[in-house]
Chains A and B, each alone.
Chain A
């Protein structure tokens, strides 16, 4: 069974870089689509970035090149970096996978990130 588990810092200061990791079990990350999706408190879902085929990446343009998604096949995990964070980046960050097309079959439980000094 596919399982995803996010890890992150919890609290990040404004202007700093947020780094998140998603550990995957039950399937090799060399398969499928792998995405990060976030949800600000009390609000809806926003897709951030996707990686598949060991390195093909797609980003949401609304992040103005502040983000980088990457994968480490040796650890079966993928990561997200968000640079120059502001309070608007405060959200629960989910990692998710899609076995076919970009509709998400599996989700992690999410990790809450607060941007505050």
Chain B
């Protein structure tokens, strides 16, 4: 199976800061990469698919980039509602696999 590794393990930031989260695949997944946001007690929400396409209703401050094995999720200016755990997921091959998640916490 394709192993997805996210970094950093945890990120402490202040509101208004720019945030960059990384996701690495153990083999190429082309652009078949999605990002999700999960807040406590809630289901994950799709943010980005196709590595760089914003899902419906997602604010423009969220953007994704990368292809192959290296991917990045960027939040241009962190808002209070963005403090959450972020997961990447590859859908290039079965079994589908998720990264371990990066919590973004208030500094």
Q: Which residues of A contact B (CB under 8 A)?
A: 35, 44-47, 50, 58-62, 94, 96, 98, 101-105, 107-110
Q: Contacts of A107 on B, CB cut-off 8 Å?
A: 43-45
Q: A106 → chain B, closest Cβ, in Å? A: 8
The interface stretch among B19-27, B72-80, B90-98 is: B90-98
Q: A102-B96, A103-B49, A105-B55 are in contact. List 8 more A-B contacts (CB 8 A).
A: A35-B96, A47-B97, A47-B98, A50-B94, A62-B95, A98-B91, A107-B43, A110-B43
Q: Contacts of A101 on B, CB cut-off 8 Å?
A: 32, 49, 91
Q: Can you list 9 contacts pairing A with B, beta carbon distance less than 8 Å?
A: A44-B101, A47-B95, A47-B96, A60-B96, A61-B95, A94-B43, A104-B36, A105-B46, A107-B45
Q: Contacts of A98 on B, CB cut-off 8 Å?
A: 91
Taking a contact as CB atoms closer than 8 A, the residue among B46, B50, B56, B99 that contacts A44 in the complex is B99
Q: B21 → chain A, closest Cβ, in Å? A: 14
Q: A82 → chain B, closest Cβ, in Å? A: 16
Q: Contacts of A45 on B, CB cut-off 8 Å?
A: 36, 44, 87, 89, 98, 101
* A105→B46 CA distance, assembly (Å): 6
Q: Which 5 A-B pairs have the closest CB atoms?
A: A107-B43, A103-B34, A102-B91, A47-B96, A45-B98
- B window 1-58: CB within 8 A of A: 1, 32, 34, 36, 42-46, 49-50, 55-56
Q: Contacts of B89 on A, CB cut-off 8 Å?
A: 45, 47, 103-104
By beta carbon, the residue of chain B nearest A92 is B43
Q: Contacts of A102 on B, CB cut-off 8 Å?
A: 91, 96
Q: B77 → chain A, closest Cβ, in Å? A: 25
* A107→B38 CA distance, assembly (Å): 11
Decide if A58 touches B34 in the complex (CB within 8 Å). Answer: no
- B window 59-107: CB within 8 A of A: 87, 89, 91, 94-101
Decide if A109 touches B43 in the complex (CB within 8 Å). Answer: yes
